[in-house]
Structure 1
Amino acid sequence: MINRTLDDRYTILEHIGGGGMADVYRAHDKLLDRSVAVKVLRSQFTNDDEFVTRFRREAQAAARLSHPNIVNMYDVGLDEDTYYIVMEYISGETLKEKIQNAGPLPVELAIKIALEIAEALEHAHQNNLIHCDIKPHNILVTKSGRIKVTDFGIARAVTSATMTHTGTIIGSVHYFSPEQAKGSVIGAKSDIYSLGVVLYEMLTGVVPFTGETPVGIALKHLQEDPKPLRDINNTIPPLTEAVVLKAMAKEPEARFSNITEMIADLKLAQVYMRDDQTRRISREDFPTQILPRITTNDNDRNNNNIDVIQEKVAGNQPKKWIWGLLALLLLGFSIGAFLAFGKFWSTNEVAVPNVVGKQVDVAKTILAGQNLRVTASETFNDKVPAGQVVSQYPEAGSTVKEQRTITIFVSKGGEVTVVPDLRGLNRRDAELQIKNAGLQIGRIDEQYADSPTDTVVSQNPRPPAQVNKNTPIDLVISKGTGPKKISLPDFRGTPLTTVNTQLESLKLKLGTVTEVPSDKYPPGTITAQNPAAATEVVEGASVDLTVAKGVAGNIKRAVVQITVPEGASKQAVQIVVTDTNGRRVIYENVHKPGDKVEKTIEGVDQVRVQVYINGVLLQEQTI
């Protein structure tokens, strides 16, 4: 696809991503002179008429979406047998890469990102379009920090067509909903579930369900509850945890009734998340003052506000539980505030030291030395050695009160994954499987093998080894069965002048020619070869030859002149020389009567020259 121009407009420049159904490229729009992203549908889906119809209809519907948190779709087209979608090109990183690089995100940031994703989904749902594949890989983070949801337009078409024809479940197993795992009807609440999983991963740095096989992970979505968020990261507020758990309810009826309701609760959680400035309490914030007596009307108004909160928290629960739940929440909030923010009556403030990259014990000692509390959470990180601090919150340099709790995220080393078996796969599919497993593409070598060209012959590490994520996987790719093998003939005793033609017919090359004196072979005759006769070599190999040269002696020269006698119209003329180096034919050709032949003769010591016409000796002389 590289350098191909679709519909004389979009020139493909580089491959920037891909999935199970399409590849994504960066391209140049020649008409508008801008960079765009082009998603190209893979060839195995192009022959299904119903799928192609749904693909075009859903892609065109997505192109009509217009929202600041959705990647804009510009065009849908068909060039020969290639179906493609043209989208806005985003320069940045995916949310998955952000989580892998930074570990768990600060709660405020995670809620902000979830809100922007939810608002994008709200716009799509209002236009009767379900995403079906919400995951961090499909969330782009621009350099300015704006969130962009991508992969609209193909997911609904793929799911519908695939379920109709094959019963295969399409989606990302770590993020899809229980109803997707069962292959049943999906709806807007499926997107809500997936968003809950994404928020879970942002807050903890890990996905809620893992397993050795996709089927095992899918069963966990159906049967198991995720590990409580606060068991992984105890700085997560209870209200934020409640939003995640409600979004990830197994039954769709138990989730938020729609994405708008989830947005409202995310904003409520955002209100309760206060930064350091709003949490700081100083004498100026609470001056000594005289308050008026609280009247009955004031109590009524306050009670009304409490009723509103009770309805929000408890829903339709009986009122006898409301007061208990409210008291529990208030108690928890008070205790949490005390533990998290320390002596809120104190006016002493300290600057948070930088402990990123330090061993956990050293980091705790440094923070304790500044009169700060410490809580540690573990996270996978293949770039930071186990036991060292990956990140901290609040960040270094922030001004906080004494006894404030500082959360440090400590590396557990690289996350372990199972190496997939890539043997027999073509190169592109093998590279995709490596990336999907969270691994890196290592060294790629090519060799001849009894396997189809461009397929994987072997790999290192071998399956089913368990390695850290981002470990490079080396591949050996087949170049096909290789050149034909040839058994070398015996060239000894053959004149060098006749060997070149023979080598060409065998698709071999003449290598080095070395002359060596020989009393056994006439000059110009091959006396040895390398490789030896009967050795098997491949087409294109070189053959080195050793050629006899004349023995040193008294060199004599003479000119022989012949006139072809009357007789047959074609007469074979042959001149033979015999000397110290042996007998050899130095001239042989066919002539007509009357032709004159003149040949310079050279020999060593006693030289005898014989001329034959049609095999009959015509003349003989000694030089």
Structure 2
Amino acid sequence: MNWGDKMIGKVLGGRYEIIEKIGGGGMAVVYKARCRLLNRYVAVKVLREEFINDEEFINKFRRESQAAASLSHPNIVSIYDVGMEDDIYYIVMEYIDGKTLKEVIDEKGKLTAKETIEYSIQIAEALEHAHRNHIVHRDIKPHNIMVTRDGRIKVTDFGIARAANASTMTNTSTVIGSVHYFSPEQARGRFTDEKSDIYSLGIVMYEMITGKVPFEGESPISVALKHIQEEIVPPTEIDSSVPKNIEYIIMKCVRKNQNERYQNASELLKDLRKVKYSKEDMNFVDNIDTLDSATRIIPIVKDEGENEEMKTKPKKKKSNKGSNNGGKRVIFWAVFLAFLLTTGLAFGIYKFKDGFSSKEIEVPDIVGWDVDKAREEIEGMGLKFEVEDTVYSSEFEENKIVYQSKEPGTVVKKNYPIKVKVSKGGKLVKVPNLINKDINEASLLLKERSLDEDVEFRNDDKIPINIVISQDPEPYEEVKEGTKVKLVVSQGPEKKMTIMPKLVGMKENEAKRAIVANRLVLGKADPQFSDEVPKGTVIWQSYESGTELEENTVVDIYVSDGPEKKKDEEKSNENQNEEIPMNLSISLPQDRSQTEVKVFRIQDGVTEQVYNQVHNVTEENLIIPVKGKPNAKFDVYFDGNFYDTYGKQ
């Protein structure tokens, strides 16, 4: 099926009208659509046809998309809906009017240090929120990051990236994605976690600040090998203007060893904010060596050897005393005549110049002067002083000169008019109410009103992280443009640290108790086949024992599932082809009065609708009798939206 030709004008789910194609990648094609129900534009991502027959991928895709839909953050593209219709699997998400970060980098060549820090903070905040919800992106790259017209960052593709990674790693051992941004563990096809996203963000920061990715190659494999084997050239060796503090953050993000990187997005954000809000050396411009920049008077350096030679060099004997005296007289009269000529010429030039220059005056530099002092200076030089206009200025105080019509050093005639503009002081603006707002939103509101910010972070047990606690000046107070507003921002409760215990070798229940006892949180406890370790024993932990961690850090473990059992290929299949009756127990949604329930059976590669009824939600739990083979699956939809899959997983 050629999606590009057939999707335009199609209505998905009875409400999403496809308008135009706006993008696409290796996994899906993206369209702009209009939601007929809410009368708004949305983006619809449709899976490419090569994936629609892979049931395992589809199931993972659904689950991960639903998980990603649970994310709610201003720097993450919102997912509104997930659906399937006529072999079309699609996600409905927030429509972003802007460009990808890749397009922004390509247009500008590279970004400024200030832009790099600002964008990196927003991306890291999106990752921090996702990681807290146990979702790892696994495909962070500029192509998956949108920049809105007002400079906000929106990270997209959480669900599809995770589903793609899981499917390809399990089934084909092929890594799908952009290899230029892959972490070494992704390139090896090994376990990926939150620190893999941090590595990829480090590569994105590298590209923002230098305009290029660290590794290039003739093939994806050659690039992947460089991520594994070669060290990254520091950004300052490519561009010496890159600030050292930004280089430090980038190089820590891209360490080969996962444990040597920032351990989580919160740690990374802490350093990024230090760079943004530090009061020292944050102009992102290297100091110029004063030896090169200033004009200096230096003493004449004499060549001592030459002087010594002149002192010690023997004089030649005079051979003719008479001729020598004659030579002296000639020299005397030559010097005397030259003196008269030079003096007379100089005197003539002086009188000539004086005759003309008396009518011309050099204009002084009066920008920044008080208007009365400037008037006195200009009129005292024989020139006219005219105030052309009064203007608001955040740079100059009231009654100071902000502009003069003639450049300093220009020569003009007497009585020439010098026109000036005088400052009325900074324009008064109202300070917005920033209390209880996110620091990024607060920064934008101040910027819109031409106000500066001075941020202080403080631990607070009650106020969420990055939320403004207080401000000075107070909300709605009138101040001049350029005034610095002091913000006190919460950095959450004071961090308490604990030590990671050794879990490998413990029984699963013992390991779980040890995690809780050390004030940590259990994440995933995935089973893994092992020929050496008894079933139920921990064989891997996400942090090495002895590592200092923040309390409530999520810890994942792998638990031995024993040796992998060989499939008995000669097992009888006679019972596998018989349909048997079964009951589906379904909980109805409680956010509406009634709902249309549809059930589709997927069996032997064929999808068939087997149930379609409208039910009042007062029934709460619904039992639906169906028939199917033991390996059949049943997809349940409420009002046309996918709910869950029942049957063999």
- TM-score w.r.t. length of structure 2: 0.43
- TM-score w.r.t. length of structure 1: 0.45
Q: Which has the larger radius of gyration?
A: 1
